[in-house]
Structure 1
C-alpha cells in the first residue's frame, strides 16, 4: 500500500473520528437541553400540583367552597403564564379546557396529536397510568406561526378534582440552538479537515521525498541487493541525490565496484596460485636432482681425496727410495764413465720428474683456485648452490690428471731406482763423482718432500671442499623441504581463492569479467645465469654411467689457459 494511500486513510479515519465526536457532542448537548427542559417541566408541575393541593386543603377545611377553590387555582395558574412559548393549562380527561393562555379556548374541547397520531387525551391517559408526572413529545400548532411544531409537554393528574394540569416548551428553540451548534461543529470539522489534508499532503511529500519513492519499492530494491543483484540500477527522480533510494543506489554502485574488484582479485589470485604451485613442483623436482648431483659430487670428491692421499704416500716412498739411492751412491766408487752415464739418465729422469712436479704444482694451484671458486659459488648459491656443479666437474678432471701424473712419477722413480742401483756399482769406482750424484739425489729427495707437502695441502683443501659440499647438500635438502612447504601453501592459497571466488559469485554485477592469466617466468637456472655473466655458451657434459646428468657451465677459455 502506498504512503499516500495510508496517509489518506489516516486522514479519513481522523475525519470520521471528528464527525463521530462532533455528532456525539451535538447529540449530548441536545440531550442535555431536553433533559433540562424535562426537569424544569417536572418542577413546574410539582409546584402547580402543590398549588392545587393547597386550595383543595382549603376546601376540605371548609374555608373555601369547591368552586372557590377551583377558581382560585385557575387564577393562580393563569397568573404564572407569562409566555406563549410555555404556559400552564388544565383540562378534563375528555379534553375540555379549564385553564388556557387564550380565554376564548376555555370551556372548549382542545385535542392535540400524539407522536403516533392518536389523540393526545388517549396518549396522556396511557402515560399517566405509567408515571405520576410523565413528560411526552407532542405535535401542536405554534402560537406564533401556526405551524405544527414539536412540543415537550408534562402532565400531572390532580385526582380530587379530576383535572389534568400540564405545561411544556416548544422545542424549536432547542432545534435552532442545536442547528447553530451543528454548523459551528461542522465548520470546525471542516477547518480541521483542511488542516489534516494539508498536513497529510505535507507528510506525503516529505516522506516520499526522503525515501525517493514508495517504501514498498525501496524495500524491493534492498531485497534485490540483499539477494545478490547488483547489476540493476535504481530509477531515481531528476536531481534526487539526498533520498533513501539515492543512498541505496550509491551503496549498490559501491558494492558493485567492490564485488567486481574482489572477484577479479580472487580469480587472479587463484590463477597465480595455480602457476605458483606448478612452479614449486618444477622447482622441487630440480632441487631433488641437484641434491642427487651433490651427493654424486661428494662421492667423487671422496675418491679424489683417496687418490691425493695415495699420491702423498707415493711421494714419501719416493723420498725414502731417494735416500736409499743416496746411500748406495756413497758406496759406489767405480766406473766413473758409467756413473756419469747413469747420472745423465738420472738427470733426465729428474727433469721429467721436475716436469711432473710442475704439473702437480699446477694441479695443486688449480685445485686451490677450484676450492676457492667452490667456496665463492657456495656463498653465492644461498639456498640452492647450483653453480658449484662447474667447480665439481673441473675438480674431477684435475683429479684424473693428478692420478696420471702420479703414475708417471712412480714409473720414473722406478726407472731412476734401477739407474741408481747401476750408479751405485759405478759410484764405488767414481769417488768424488758419486758425491755429486749423492748431492743430486739429495736434491731429488727435497723435491719429493715438497711434492708430499703439496699433496698434503691438496688433501686438506679437498677436505674443505668436501665440507662445503656437505653443507651445500644440507642446504639443498632444506631447500627441498621449503619448496614442498611452499607448494602446500600455494595449494592452500588456491583453495582459499576458489572459496572466495565462490563466495562473491552469488552477487550479480551485470558485467562480464575477463581475467588475464598472470605471466609466470621460470626462474633462471645456474647454467643460464653463469652463461649470461661469462658470455659463453652453456654446455652439458656427457654423464658417466650410473649418474644423472648434471647441468654445468664452462668457464672462459682464458681461465683455464694452464691446461
Structure 2
C-alpha cells in the first residue's frame, strides 16, 4: 500500500474507533435485553408467588381443613393487599373471563373479556388463552391514570392455577424501560466520546513523533544527495529505528566528505606535478643550448673517428659540465688507438669462444622458457585458490554475523516466554480465588433458599397473618435460586478458563525450552563459523605470501629467459660481426701508421638444436590484480 505512515496510523485509529463502536453497540443491546428480562422476571416471580399461595390453600382443601369456597375466599383476601413496584397489583380471572379477584371493588365479578385497549385488543381474553397454553406475556396499551390522554404500553403475565381453573395475572407499565435504556445509551455515548477524544489526543502526537522525524530524515538525505555536506542529520541521538537510520545516513555523509577531501588532495598533487614539469622544462632548455654546442664539437670529432682517424682529439673548449666528457673522449680515443692493436690479435680467440657461448645459450634459453611457463601456471592456480579462500572467509564472516543476530533474537524470545508463563500463573491463581468466592456465594444461595422455603411454610401455617411474609419469602427464594444458577454458570466458565490457561502454560513452557535449545545450538554454530572464518583468513594470508613469492620467481625467470635470448642473439650477431671487424681494422689510422689486420679463420657456426624463438617478456597479473613490472632491453645491470 503506497500510503504515508501518518495515513496508515490514522487508518489504525479509525479501525480502533469502529471496533469500540461495535463493542458499545453489542453491550447496549445486551443491556436492553437485560432490562426487559429483569422486568419480565419480576412479573413472573409475583405470579409464581401467588400460584404458590393458592397451592397452599388447595393443600388445606385436600387435607379437609377448609372447604373449596373457604379456601378461595381466603385466597382472594390474601392476594388483595399484595403490592409491588409502583403500587402494582395482582388480579385473577376464571375461564369465562369473570374477574374473581381485583383490587377495584367495582370490577370484582365483572366480565373482563369485554375490555379492550386503545388499539382494539381484547387483552384479558388473550391473557386467559396464554395461561391455558402454559403461561405467557401480553402487551397492550392503556392510560396510566383514568381520564388521562397519555397512553403507555403495559406488559402482563398470566399463568393458570389448574385446580381452580383460575388465571392469575399481573402487569407493569414498560414505558420507563425505554427511558432507563436511553439514559444508559447517553452515558455510554458520553464515555465513548471522552475515550475517543483521549485516543485522538494521544494518537496525534504519536503519529507526529513517527512521521515528522522520517520527513526530516528524507529532507536531509535529499540535501546530501544534492551535494550539501553541511546538512545536519536529525535523530542521530535516538535509540530507536529512526536513530539507526540517522546513524547510517551520517556514515554515508562522512564517507562523502572523505571522498571529496581525497579528490582535493589528488588535484593539489596534480598541480604540483605540473609546476615541477614546467621548472624541469626550463632547466632542460638551458641545458639543451650547451648540449647543442657540445654536440657540434663532438660531431666533428666523431666524423673523423668514423673515417678511421684515431689521431683525432677534441681541442675546443666546451661547457663546464661537458668538460669531463671531452677529456674522457680524448682519453678514450687514445685508449682506443692503443686497444685496436690488441683487438686484432684477439679476434681469432673471440670467434672461437663465441661458438661455444652460442651452444650453451641455446640450451639455457630452452630450459628457462619451460621453467617460466610452469611458474606462470602455478601463479595463476594460486591466484584462483586465494580468491576462493577469500570468498570463503567473507562468507564465514557474514554467516557469523547472521548467527549472532539469530542468537540475540532467540534469547529475547525466551525472556518474553518466561514473562508469559509468569502472567498465566497469576491468572490461574486469580481464577482459584474467584472459584472459592463463587463456592461461598453458591453456599449462601443454598442456605437462603432453605430459609425462604422454611419461611414460606411457616407463613402458610400462620394463615392470614403470614400472607405478606409468604410473598416476601417466595421472592427471596426466587432470588436465591437465580443466584445459585448464576454462580454455577460462573463456576463452570472459570473451570473451563483454568483448563485453557493450564494448556497455555504447558505450550508456552515448551516454547521456552525450544528457544533455549535453539539459543544453545545457534551459539555452538556461531563458534564453529568463527573458527572457520579465522582459519580461512589465515589460509588466505599464507596463500597470498606464497603467491607473491611464486609471482616474484616467475618475474625473475621471465627476465632471465629474455636476457638469455638476448645474449644468444647477441653472441650470434657478435660472431658474424667479428669477421667484419677483422676487415674493418685495416681502415683505422693511428699515430704509428696504418694498423693492418689479418683475417683469421672463420668462427664456427653456433648449434641451433635448442634455439628458442624470440619472444617478448610477458606481463603477469599478480594476486592483488596489479601488473608485473616490464623488463626492458637494457637490464643487464639488474641481472
Q: TM-score, normalised by structure 1?
A: 0.40
Q: TM-score, normalised by structure 2?
A: 0.36
Which structure has more relative contact order (CA 8 Å, sep 6+)? It is: 1
Larger Rg: 1
